[in-house]
Amino acid sequence: MSVSLGSVIWSSVKPIIKIYLIIGTGFMLSKFDIITVQSTKAISDIILTVLLPCLSFNKIVSNIEDKDIKDVGIICLSSVLIFGTGLFFAYVVRRTMPVPKQWRGGILAGGMFPNISDLPIAYLQTLAQGFIFTPEEGDKGVANVIIFLAMFLICVFNLGGFRLIEMDFNYNDEENATINESTTDIQSNDKEITEFEKQKNGFSKLTTSDNEKSKKSESSDISSLPSTAVVDQSLSIPRSGSIHPGNELVGNESVISSIISNPSIVLSTSDESSTSNFSYKGKSNNADKVTTPVLKTQSQPVAYTSSVASIQEKVKRRPRSKSTSSQYTMNELIKQYSKVDQYGNPIDKNDASSVTGPHHDINGVEVQPTRQSNLTRILTSDATVSKHDIESSGSSLPKWLRKFPLTPLIVFFIKNCFRPCSAAVIIALTCAFIPWVKALFVTTDTTPHIRQAPDQQPALSFIMDFTGYVGAASVPFGLILLGATLGRLKIGSLYPGFWKSACVLVVLRQCVMPIFGVLWCDRLVKAGWLNWENDKLLLFVIAINWSLPTMTTIIYFTASYTPADMPNPIQMECVSFFLMIQYPLLVVSLPFLVTYFLKVQIKV
């Protein structure tokens, strides 16, 4: 069947329209602060740990057979060529054009690793609606894309491709450390919180007579206040100690939640407190130096009741700091994803003991912080690996094994194979290549006939139902998060001449590399490995993967290696500009490639 050129052009443009509508939705949701930085990270982890593995397992088991082993090998070889060609172009640009020395590794990663996941899958699913490709061919094309994705994960994580990004960061040492007010306040208040815990334990041992004296003293303090007394608006509850503009009450969540849940609890301060700290009234003479609020539960004057109501209202509203325009700025992205301090030491934000150790809640009950193992962190997040994870891999092995230089690398490689998506691809390919195992999940012309369930379906068909239903949400969510990420980026002052380097590399990636992709497909056919009649969909998938923009994960990797208090994040500025200029060009480059490939190569 011959298709007119106009129909082919429309078929190649239509998927782009759908993709950009979804990306635009995510962009607007981030601008309206519906998708925050925290929710972006949470949804991204859900996609990586649940949605994408389900999609991978479902499509591979359903559409890959034992006779497709050769196709899997061709996909792996094509992946190596795509990554190698991108790396070569990036290296040429780095050597011949102005690139800041702080992003000499990042530009290599940006040229090497494309966005092989949501974009090609969404494109294929729209294109394969019966006009150009059938839905069955589209499903098999999605399975091929997922194998490309598995190769991408192996190169980025297992083989340490992320180190290209990490090597750009030269962290401070003790001599040239940057000391700022916020860091100093955090450190001093952490010490004060620890001192308060010690003093509170001593205070709990006071005798009954001391308690009575304390109550009388508190009553006299209350009665001496004027009827219009209000809580000083400069007060803030220190979590890490900094005072936020806009009268923002943040931190010390246990104290705040107690204020909200119990209106009779009141914060007490002294007029001579010029440091905007709370005071703790106890038996110790130094107690009033501790920056933790005094909590009173006795009946209070009307002025105090209204003051507490005003505090509760401020806690609920939580206005943003005036120092940032909105929560979706690039600085907030760095703060959320940053995993290192200015010295390059890893910071585990899930490990509360790294700051204050075991602590007590408002009632004095000791709360043990929850710890997240390194393996769990690696498996459930996308941009949390670093060279420290490589160095610490295999530390639990016997000494005679650890003495071999390759032991940490091998252990790190194996650990990353347990990432949900990688594990799902490995398990799915194993099931797909063993016919009688595949017959437990699906029934095809090539699977052996085995006894069916009472509904005349394979015994494990419910797993396919589950993975298909859940995995369908992976691509839409991924594109929405892509738009939310782009909406959170901003371009600052660029390195002189860097815009030329970035533009040249983008043109090489999205205009020149597709030419190499078409030539590679033609070579595969001439070598007899594939043919245009039976393998046209695989050839099409290989071709479009040569024209994809840079991986979005490069943003999260760069943010995770950037210290939160870094004054001038050059790496984030470079990667933001480099990523943002690619998607306008993609509107033209990808449909042009698809139109040419369908009309000239496949001859639809």
* DSSP characters over 195-233: HHHHHHHHHTT--HHHHHHHHHHHHHHHHTS-TT----T
Alpha-carbon span 84 to 222, nearest angstrom? 74
Kindly write down the DSSP assignment for every residue of 35-61, as one continuous string.
Answer: S-HHHHHHHHHHIIIIIHHHHHHHHHH
pLDDT in the model for residue 423: 95
**β-bridge mates for residue 295, sequence order:** 267
Asked whether the CA dihedral 281, 282, 288, 291 is positive or negative, the reply is negative
pLDDT in the model for residue 317: 44
AA letter at 150: A
416 close to 404: Cβ distance less than 8 angstroms: no
In this structure, the dihedral spanned by the alpha carbons of residues 570, 502, 28 and 552, taken in order and rounded to 10 degrees, is -80
Quote the percentage of the chain above a pLDDT of 70: 69
pLDDT in the model for residue 239: 41
CATH topology of domain 5-172+392-436+469-601: Na+/H+ antiporter like fold (1.20.1530)
Residue with tokens 């009450």: 249
pLDDT in the model for residue 363: 52
Kindly write down the DSSP assignment for every residue of 472-494, as one continuous string.
Answer: TTHHHHHHHHHHHHHHH----PP
340 CB-contact burial (10 Å; exposed 0-12 / middle 13-18 / buried 19+) = buried
Alpha-carbon span 558 to 555, nearest angstrom? 5
Please state, as a whole number, how many other Cβ atoms lie within 10 Å of the Cβ of residue 184: 12
Alpha-carbon span 474 to 22, nearest angstrom? 13
Angle, helices 498-507 vs 570-580, to 10°: value is 40
How many CA atoms lie within 13 Å of 123's alpha carbon, on the beta-carbon side?
Answer: 25
AA letter at 419: R
pLDDT in the model for residue 381: 72
Q: What is the pLDDT of residues 315-346, one digit of tens each?
A: 444 444 433 343 346 778 888 889 888 888 88
Residue 102 is given by DSSP the state G
**Residue in 373, 352, 258 with CA at minimum distance from that of residue 308:** 258
**Residue 161, helix vs strand vs coil:** coil
**Residue 296, helix vs strand vs coil:** strand
- Furthest-apart CA atoms within the chain: distance in Å: 98
Alpha-carbon span 602 to 540, nearest angstrom? 9
Residues of the chain with pLDDT under 50: 181-191, 193-194, 196, 200, 203-209, 211, 213-218, 220-261, 263-328, 351-362, 367-371
Alpha-carbon span 312 to 262, nearest angstrom? 10
Kindly write down the DSSP assignment for every residue of 336-403, as one continuous string.
Answer: HH--B-TT--B--TT-GGGTT-SEE-TTS-EEPPP---HHHHHHH-SS---HHHHHHTTTTS-HHHHT
Structure tokens at 280: 């703790």
151 close to 117: Cβ distance less than 8 angstroms: no
Measured in degrees and rounded to the nearest 5, phi and psi for residue 388 equal -65, -35
Whole-model pTM? 0.74
Give the DSSP H or E segment for 256. Answer: helix 253-261
Residues 6+ apart with CB under 8 A from 402: 394, 395, 408
Residues 6+ apart with CB under 8 A from 43: 35, 477, 481
Please state, as a whole number, how many other Cβ atoms lie within 10 Å of the Cβ of residue 505: 25
Structure tokens at 66: 């034992």
Q: What is the pLDDT of residues 25-42, one digit of tens each?
A: 999 999 998 999 889 989
pLDDT in the model for residue 2: 79
Residue with tokens 């993609």: 586
Alpha-carbon span 394 to 321, nearest angstrom? 44
Structure tokens at 265: 């609890």
Please state, as a whole number, how many other Cβ atoms lie within 10 Å of the Cβ of residue 415: 20
Residues 6+ apart with CB under 8 A from 133: 124, 127, 141, 537, 540
**Residue 480, helix vs strand vs coil:** helix
**Residue in 95, 30, 47 with CA at minimum distance from that of residue 505:** 95
Structure tokens at 529: 């490995």
Alpha-carbon span 149 to 421, nearest angstrom? 9
Please state, as a whole number, how many other Cβ atoms lie within 10 Å of the Cβ of residue 594: 25
Alpha-carbon span 297 to 586, nearest angstrom? 63
